[in-house]
Structure formats: structure tokens, C-alpha cells
Amino acid sequence: MVDGSPNVTTTNAGIPVGSDEHSLTVGRDGPVVLHDAYLIEKMAHFNRERVPERVVHAKGSGAYGTFRVTNDVSEFTCADLFQPGRETRMLARFSTVAGEMGSPDTWRDPRGFALKFYTRQGNYDMVGNNTPVFFIRDPQKFQDFIRSQKRHPQTGLRNNTMQWDFWSLSPESAHQVTWLMGDRGVPKDWRHMDGFSSHTYQWINAEGERVWVKYRFVTDQGNDFLTQEEADRLAGQDADRHRRDLFEAIERGEYPSWTLQVQIMPLEDAATYRFNPFDLTKVWPFGDYPPIEVGRMTLNENPSNHFIHIEQAAFEPSNLVPGIGPSPDKMLLGRLFSYPDTHRYRIGVNYNELPPNRPESPVRSYSKDGRMRFFEPDTAAVYHPNSYGGPDAARQEGEEQASWRVEAAELVREAYSRHDEDDDFVQPRALIRDVMDEAARERLVSNVSGHVSEVTDDDVLGRALKYWRDIDPEIGERVAAKLNGG
């Protein structure tokens, strides 16, 4: 009996809910369904929590540039922007995740890495981070995660206890937290950090053959970072350090660039791969799927007006051009709804008519009216079907859609099916032992111990220490010793 219990989550209408952990899906591994009313309520409410800045990634800046293909990957995708020799105009925006508009650029936080390509077949957006993984794997938990990283509702202050309370109760966060507490948790500037799609996507070639793909933009400037002490000092001396650096470098003609590499997984590998390839908390080892060069992104044009071109820029992973599609990644499927919905709220239903969002290819849409409508439709016909020459969405011969096979199943709220090596701690442990050198491990211990030292709840502190012992027993003991003055 749950009626009246103060500990049972309810909808905003007071109705008990089935899960705060898992979205409603077609079987364990099928797509998220639109009639999961509680998930939609959480997303829609969350998207409207802040006015007018972005709910997340509020502080950032960016620039225009070009993407030029340097290698032939047409055997994997027919996407226009990835065809041999193609050069495509684009916009990039970099940001911090948790801070507000006025927060320092040098807080320890993941960095957003959002790209918009103005292709011949419409806008293609890749909305990623400077890390290849994320804290959670189900969109049902996203709103709760972000709130745990924001400000305490009573004090209005950032609160490490809230952060560690969530992380220590969500072991899937271990891989991302290890990245966050390591050197790349505070990049020297945006020019010296990599960017990742993080999510798995689907590529389709001209013959309709499909593969799974992950993106990695490798900085041509080389990776560099700030120590915690340097970051803290700069937060007070130059809170806009990263914004200033990018703008001034481009003004000097020192155009930053990144080389795009992709990892390709055959479609049939996914079902039997040793861990779930669509789990956002996991990476694909290069030994299994080596990187393939695609092209180079170069930023060479500062925006003429920051508000028009950066604050009004709307990036959304649902902008997928022919030849590119989504995957069964539950977080990605949730974001396909969440991003355009928050843009409609934040900058208006006609946000795609604003300069940074307007496609350079023709727009033939049946959308009409709404606030701030500017462009007239190409035809007086504003409905389909019609007799007056309006566009027709009928599929072209040979066109293939992104899709994947889902076995017939009941609607359930459950975690992904486990693969043989699915484990929340294996990959962060490998990151510590196989990628970091001893100096980096010592900085990791210092960063973690400094962060958890501000936790004020003994139970949360105990769980945080256990969390690190589960990741790596030696690192966990070194963190505990440093906290105890060792």
C-alpha cells in the first residue's frame, strides 16, 4: 500500500509513478515510447525550468568555420557532408554543463562540444561533450542528475554533498566521474580539448547497408589542461578565460582545427559484443574498432554578434540528414525530443528561422504561423495532401531509413539487457591503470579528495569512498588517506 506515503514519487498530479530509473521501452532493448507520460512530464517540465538561459550548457561561446572531408568513407554513409572532397560551412559552440551564464569558464565540469553543419540536405547537428561517456544511461534520470549538480534549493550554493549523493547512488556514473576528476576535467581552453559524439549513431550507405558509428574530434593543437590550483586562480582573475581565448585566437588568424575520426561497428556485432555498445557510460576500445579519419574541422570566423549567433543557436541531435540515423541508445532517444522542445520554449517555435539555425538548403515545410514568424512559405498550401503544388514527403526509390530490429516484447521499465562484460567499474579502472601515468593518478587523488572533503553528510562521504574503492582499491585508499591527513 503506497497511498499517502511521503517516500513514493508521484507525477505533478500526485499519481504514484512506476520508476525514476527506467523509461518505458518496447522490451528491454527496444525504443522508448512516447506514451511514457511520466518521462515526457519530467522532460517537458525540466526544459522549462530556466528563463531565458539554457537549462544546461548556459555559459559558452563559439565560432563559424568549415568541415572538409579528407578521406573516402562513402562505403559507410551516403550523408552529403561526408562525401569525398566535400566542404561544408558549420557552427561550433563550446560550453560548461552546470554553470550559469556568469559562471567561470574554469570550473571542473564537462565541456559541451556542439556542432551544426549546413549541408546540402539540411542542417546536421552533433551535440556532444569533451568526454566520450556520460554519467547516466537512461533519460529518466537526466533531470535528477542535473539538479544534483546545480545549486542547493535552500542556500543557493553549489553543493558537493548533493553531487556525491547522486553519484554514489548511481554507480553507472563511475566512468564519467573518473574522467571529470582527472586532468581533462579542466581543459586549458576549448582549442586544446577533444570532442566526442559520446552516443552511438547509425550510418547508411547508398546501397542501404547500415553500420554503427561513434565520432571523435581530435584537437590538432594537442590536449592540454589546467591543474586545480590554476583553474581556481583563473576563476577569479579571468572568469571568461576560454571565451576570450577562442575569440582572440581567431582574430589573430590562428584558426583552431580538429581531425574527425570515427569508429565503425558492423550492425550484427552489437547483439553479441562483450558489453552493450549503446550504453552511454562505455567506450569502444580502439583495439576492437580502430579509428578511421574522415576530415578536418577548422574555425575561422568569429560571430559578428554574440547574442544573435551564439545565444540564439539551437543544436539538436534530432537534426539527422539522410545517411545518418539514431541508435537504440536510450539517452540519445530521449534527447531527440528534449532538445527541440527546450528550443521552442527558450527562443520560440520558429527558432529555425533565426540566422544561426536557418538551413542553407531549401526549406519546404508545412509549419505555419506562431510567434516571430518571418519567412513566408513557398506555397499557399499549408496542408497535405493538397492540389496546389505543395511538397510531397513520399520516399524516393532506393532511399533507406535508419532502423534496427526489435523483437516483439511487452512494454517494460527495465535496464538494458546485460552483455558478458557489462560492469560499471571496469572501464574507469582501465582509464586509471592503463591510460593515466603516476603523476596523473596523483592529481586524480588530489582532485577527488579536495572535492569530497566538502561533503557534509557522513553517510554520503562513506558511500563516496566506497565508490572509489570499487573503481580502484588503491586509489580509494589513497583518497581516504589524504582525507585523513595522510
Contacts of 238 (CB under 8 A, 6+ apart): 244
How many H-runs (helices) and E-runs (strands) does the chain carry? 12, 12
Q: Known catalytic residue: 484?
A: no
Which residue do the cell numbers 520560440 mark?
A: 348
207: its cell numbers? 546501397
Question: Which DSSP string do the residues of 124-135 spell out, in sequence order?
Answer: EEEEEESSS--S
What is the rounded distance in angstroms from the CA atom of residue 203 to the CA atom of residue 207?
Answer: 11
Q: How many residues does the chain have?
A: 486
Question: Which DSSP string do the residues of 320-379 spell out, in sequence order?
Answer: --TTEE--S-HHHHHHHHHHHHHHHHHT-TTGGGSTTT--SS---------TT--SPPSS
Select which of 123, 129, 350, 357 is catalytic.
Answer: 129
Question: Which DSSP string do the residues of 28-78 spell out, in sequence order?
Answer: TTSPBPTT-HHHHHHHHHHHTSSSSS-SSS-SEEEEEEEEEE-S--TTT--
Q: Known catalytic residue: 309?
A: no
Q: At how many degrees (to 10) do helices 458-471 and 473-483 cross?
A: 140
Phi-psi region of 102 (alpha: psi -120 to 50; beta: other; left: phi over 0): alpha
What is the rounded distance in angstroms from the CA atom of residue 251 to the CA atom of residue 25?
Answer: 49
Regarding beta strands 195-196 and 257-266, do their DSSP bridges make them parallel or antiparallel, or are they unpaired?
unpaired
Half-sphere exposure of 154 (CA within 13 A, CB side): 2
Please list the residues that pair with 468 across neighbouring strands: none
Q: At how many degrees (to 10) do helices 228-237 and 438-452 cross?
A: 60
> What separation, in Å, do the N-terminal and C-terminal C-alpha atoms of the chain show?
49
Please list the residues that pair with 157 across neighbouring strands: none
Select which of 57, 242, 343, 451 is catalytic.
Answer: 57
b/e for 215-236, b at 16 or more Cβ within 10 A? bbbbbebeeebbebeebbebbe
Contacts of 272 (CB under 8 A, 6+ apart): 419
Residues tagged active-site: 57, 129
